[in-house]
Amino acid sequence: MVKWKQLPWNKYRRDDRKSTFMQKYRWHLTSLFLLICYAGVRATAAALTPDESAPRTISQLESSGQIQTGPSALALWWWKAMRQLHRWWDAFQNWLGSLFPETKPLSPHANVSPMWIKVLFVSALVLVLIVAAVLLWRIWKNMPAPEPDGDLGDEELFLLPPEELRQRAGRFAAEGNYREALRYLYISMLMLMDARGVWHYDINRTNWEHIAQLSHEAKRMDLVVPLSDMTRRFDRVRYGNAACDGGDWERFQSKYGELEALLPSP
C-alpha cells in the first residue's frame, strides 16, 4: 500500500524552498481566470442591454418627415368615416327590419338547399327581363314613324302657329315643292285670322262655310273677296290636282300679303 508521503506531488514539502509550477504561478493563473470571467460578464451584459440607437434614429427620421410609422391624418379620418357609415347602415337595417314582422324559422325537417334558392331567383329574374324586353319591343314596334312635314294632314297643321306654318311654306318653296308651300301658306292664313280675332276656326266646317258666315258681317266684307280668291286657288291645287309653279306661288304670296294687310292688328 502506497503511503501518503510516497505520492509524487508530496515529495516536496511546504516548508521546502522549491515549489511546483502550479504553486509558483497560481496567483497569476487565478488573476487571469478572474480577468476572463470579468470580460465574459461584460460581454454578456452588453449583449443583453437593449440598443437604443435604432429607436433614436427612427424617432429622428419620423420627426423630420422622412418616414411614417403610423397612419396619416387622411387615412385615420377615412377609417373613422367608414366606421361611422357602417354604424349608420347597421342602424338603418335594424330600423328597416323592425318595420316588418319576423318570419318564423323553418322547421329542422324543412331543409332547403341554397342552390335551389339561387336557381329560382335567377329564373325569376330572367323571366322578368324577357317579359320587359317583349313589352318594350311591342311598344317600339307600334310607335308611329315620324312623318315628314309634307305628309302632315291638314288637321295636324292647324295645331301649329301661323308664323311657323309660314316659315315651313318658305322652306318648301325654296326646295321647289310649290304645292306643299301653297298648302302651308293657306292654312297659315286661316290660323292668322283666328289669332287676329276675325273668326274662331272650326275644323269640322268647310272653308266655304267659314267664308259664308264671314260675308254676313258688315265689318268683315272687305276680307271676303281676297280670301275667296285664295280659297279657290287652294282647292284647285289641293283637290283638283292643278299645276303649281313658281309664278303661281308668287301670285299666292301676293294675295296673302293683301289679305294680311286687311286683318285687324294684333
Please report the pLDDT score of residue 250 as a whole number. Answer: 93
Please report the pLDDT score of residue 16 as a whole number. Answer: 47
Provide the sign of the torsion angle of the four alpha carbons 84, 86, 88, 90, taken in this order.
Answer: negative
**Ramachandran angles phi, psi of 176, nearest 5°:** 90, 5
Please report the pLDDT score of residue 7 as a whole number. Answer: 47
Task: Provide CB contacts within 8 A for 180, sequence distance 6+.
Answer: 149, 150, 169, 172
Each residue's pLDDT, cut to its tens digit, for the chain (266 residues) gives: 444 444 454 444 444 444 565 566 667 777 777 778 777 777 776 666 655 566 666 666 666 666 656 667 777 788 888 888 888 888 877 876 776 655 555 555 555 566 667 677 778 888 888 988 888 887 877 765 444 444 567 778 888 899 999 999 999 999 999 999 999 999 999 999 999 988 898 888 899 999 999 888 888 889 999 999 999 999 999 888 888 999 999 999 999 999 999 988 87
Please report the pLDDT score of residue 98 as a whole number. Answer: 73
Please report the pLDDT score of residue 101 as a whole number. Answer: 58
What distance in Å separates the CA atoms of residue 220 and residue 216, rounded to the nearest whole number? 8
Please report the pLDDT score of residue 145 as a whole number. Answer: 47
DSSP 15-54: TSS---HHHHSHHHHHHHHHHHHHHHHHHHHHHHSPP-HH
**Ramachandran angles phi, psi of 229, nearest 5°:** -60, -45
Give me 107's grid cell: 322547421
Alpha helices in the chain (DSSP H): 21-24, 26-48, 53-64, 73-99, 114-142, 154-157, 162-174, 178-195, 207-215, 221-238, 246-262
What distance in Å separates the CA atoms of residue 208 and residue 249, rounded to the nearest whole number? 22
What distance in Å separates the CA atoms of residue 252 and residue 249, rounded to the nearest whole number? 5
Give me 158's grid cell: 292647324
Q: Residue ranges per domain, the chain? A: 150-262
Which among 32, 5, 9 has a CA at the least distance from the CA of 21?
9
